[in-house]
Amino acid sequence: MEANKVDVAEKIPASRKLQRDDAAALLAKAKEMTVAKGRKVQTFKGGKGATEEAIDAMLGSTGNLRAPAIVTGKTLLIGFNEEVYNGVFG
């Protein structure tokens, strides 16, 4: 993030576990969301168009929100994919 000169407004420590309700609240505020799991990238609608499938994609095997989770404007990014990040922050 620092390499792209992105200011981080809030960092949440890993010890604070964000779960399904937290994920749903984040998605409700977003217009769209991109979830990256390795090379697999999926895009979902947020807000009132959010689906249970989208919320499921946000969660890891433990049921906690996957990291990193980034809110930038009305876009939510979950997980890491260099191409996605370069497209958003590049």
The residue written with tokens 């009305």 in the block is 74
Q: Which tens digit of pLDDT belongs to each residue from 42-84? A: 999 999 989 999 999 999 999 999 999 999 999 999 999 999 9
Mean pLDDT of the chain: 90
Structural domain count, the chain: 1
Length of the chain: 90
pLDDT band at 3 (very low <50, low <70, confident <90, very high): low
Nearest Cα to Cα of residue 44 among 10, 79, 14: 79
Inform me whether the pLDDT recorded for 1 exceeds 70: no
3-class secondary structure, 90: coil
Inform me whether the pLDDT recorded for 11 exceeds 90: no
What per-residue confidence (pLDDT) applies to 5?
65
Q: Which domain holds residue 73?
A: 2-6+15-89
